[in-house]
């Protein structure tokens, strides 16, 4: 079973290590120890409710054993663009027609936009390569739905996720080379680092304010607009299975797509269910099968998530072993939220 918990001060070294390991293009995890220290401090303060709900940034880490080190992380930004201006390109069209010439043309455009400001963002998803097994990636991504379902009042109804855009093994981004480099005299990795550090003033100062006509870009730059990095495709597929859809916005540096869903319509939020704990002894019940369920307590500061292969339910109660209850930090009678990891067909309503 995997255990998910809020990040803590003692996780700093592992956070810095994972940020370095994540590579170019994961903007939310820049390879900078000072920035990672600031990010961790903000997350800890968020769980301690020392920040307003709009300023909060929640980071969770995954452990494969109760005493093991963090091997992955994920985050929820309560409101984007509150302290830093949030930029995307909005995909649009210009229609040009001439009856005299018998021409009708639709031209794709990119327009610099702040339209996603105020949305809740799912981000900072990273799992170490050796631990990409036993559905850890799915567990890490979807545990956030339990937190959203337990505390919906803290978040926007509009929930987005920005996907890492295409770049090759050497970090070469065709979109950056075709567009960004024309306005910024720097490498893609440098621009990515500055954005991750929160230094976005240079975007407003240097980026063109008028629509960019996509056909004017090099063919290889055009071809990757809205495409994701190969390593990001599984994350995109998981989000789409939960009801997220591309919303017509892309990243200004690598053209990775943004996806969006209404909070109450996210599949994982809708199929989560609130049950109460009953603790039972179940000798020899060692979880060795592929996990199919997520269980989360409803404690804000000491939130815990747990993946299990099966659940034992009795009406409005869920039966937990003492070890499971201990991992979740719950007692008999406490409420927990339960979710099947497998997406279900969307329902009306």
Name beta bridge partners: 107.
94
pTM higher than 0.85 for the full model? yes
What is the C-alpha separation between 18 and 347, in angstroms, rounded? 38
| Backbone angle region of 81, left / alpha / beta, with phi > 0 → left and psi within -120 to 50 → alpha | left
Q: Determine whether 229 is an active site residue.
A: yes
Q: What residue ranges of the chain are covered by domains with CATH 2.40.40.20?
A: 272-340
What is the C-alpha separation between 123 and 211, in angstroms, rounded? 28
**Which listed CATH number (3.30.1300.10, 3.40.630.30, 2.70.160.11, 3.20.20.80) goes with 3-89+113-267?**
3.40.630.30
Spatial CA neighbour of 82 closest among 162, 148, 155: 155
Q: Tens place of pLDDT for every residue, the chain, 349 residues?
A: 899 999 999 999 999 999 888 876 566 787 889 989 999 999 999 999 999 999 999 999 999 999 999 999 999 999 998 877 888 999 999 988 888 888 888 999 999 999 999 999 999 899 999 999 999 999 999 999 999 999 999 999 999 999 989 998 888 899 999 998 888 878 877 777 666 666 666 776 777 878 999 999 999 999 999 999 998 898 899 999 999 999 999 999 899 999 999 999 999 999 999 999 999 987 655 555 789 999 999 999 999 999 999 999 999 999 999 999 999 999 999 999 999 999 864 443 3
For the chain, list the strands marked E by DSSP.
3-6, 57-63, 72-77, 88-98, 103-113, 120-127, 158-162, 212-213, 245-250, 257-262, 273-279, 293-297, 305-308, 312-314, 317-320, 335-340
Q: Which two tokens stand for residue 63?
A: 């452990």
What is the C-alpha separation between 122 and 76, in angstroms, rounded? 5
What is the C-alpha separation between 342 and 293, in angstroms, rounded? 8
Q: Which two tokens stand for residue 72?
A: 């992955």
Please report the DSSP string for 100-113 in residue order: TTTEEEEEEEEEEE
Tell me the Cα Rg of the chain. Answer: 22
**What is the structure's pLDDT at 330?**
97
Tell me the backbone φ, ψ of residue 161, rounded to 5 degrees.
-145, 135
Please report the DSSP string for 225-269 in residue order: TT-B-GGGHHHHHHHHHTT-EEEEEE-TTT-PEEEEEEGGG-HHH
**What is the structure's pLDDT at 204?**
66
**What is the structure's pLDDT at 170?**
82
Q: CA torsion angle for 20, 60, 72, 225 (degrees, to 10)?
A: -70
Three-state SS for 258-300 is EEEEEHHHCHHHHHCEEEEEEECCCCCCCCCCCCCEEEEECCC
What is the C-alpha separation between 209 and 22, in angstroms, rounded? 32
What is the C-alpha separation between 82 and 18, in angstroms, rounded? 26
Q: What residue ranges of the chain are covered by domains with CATH 3.40.630.30?
A: 3-89+113-267
Residue tagged active-site, from 57, 172, 229, 276: 229
Nearest 5°: the CA angle 150, 156, 160 is 100
Q: Which CATH number applies to 272-340?
A: 2.40.40.20
What is the C-alpha separation between 247 and 226, in angstroms, rounded? 10
**What is the structure's pLDDT at 346?**
41
Spatial CA neighbour of 5 closest among 338, 318, 273, 306: 306
Whether the CB-CB separation of 212 and 110 falls below 8 Å is answered with: yes
């Amino acid at each position: 079973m995997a255990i998910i918990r809020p990040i803590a001060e003692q996780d700093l070294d592992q956070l810095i290590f994972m940020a370095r390991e994540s590579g170019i293009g994961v903007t939310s995890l820049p390879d900078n120890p000072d920035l990672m220290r600031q990010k961790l401090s903000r997350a800890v303060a968020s769980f301690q409710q020392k920040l307003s709900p709009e300023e909060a940034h929640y980071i969770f880490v995954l452990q494969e054993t109760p005493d093991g080190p963090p091997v992955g992380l994920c985050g929820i930004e309560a409101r984007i663009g509150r302290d830093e201006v949030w930029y995307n390109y909005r995909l649009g069209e210009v229609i040009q027609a001439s009856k005299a010439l018998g021409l009708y043309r639709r031209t794709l455009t990119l327009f610099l936009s702040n339209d996603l400001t105020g949305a809740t963002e799912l981000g900072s998803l990273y799992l170490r390569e050796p631990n990409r097994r036993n559905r850890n990636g799915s567990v890490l991504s979807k545990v956030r739905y339990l937190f959203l379902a337990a505390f919906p009042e803290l978040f926007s109804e509009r929930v987005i996720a920005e996907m890492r855009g295409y770049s090759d093994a050497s970090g070469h981004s065709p979109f950056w080379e075709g567009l960004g480099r024309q306005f910024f005299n720097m490498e893609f990795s440098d621009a990515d680092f500055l954005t991750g550090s929160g230094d976005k003033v240079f975007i407003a100062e240097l980026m063109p304010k008028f629509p960019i006509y996509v056909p004017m870009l090099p063919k290889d730059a055009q071809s990757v607009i809205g495409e994701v990095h190969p390593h990001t495709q599984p994350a995109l597929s998981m989000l789409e299975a939960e009801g997220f859809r591309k919303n017509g916005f892309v990243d200004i540096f690598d053209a990775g797509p943004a996806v969006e869903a209404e909070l109450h319509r996210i599949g994982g939020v809708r199929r989560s269910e609130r049950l109460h704990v009953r603790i039972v002894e179940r000798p020899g019940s060692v979880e060795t099968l592929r996990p199919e369920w997520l269980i989360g307590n409803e404690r804000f500061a000491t939130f815990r998530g747990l993946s299990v292969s099966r659940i034992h339910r009795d009406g409005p109660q869920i039966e937990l072993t003492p070890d499971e209850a201990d991992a979740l930090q719950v007692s008999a009678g406490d409420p927990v939220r339960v979710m099947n990891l497998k997406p279900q067909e969307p329902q009306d309503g």
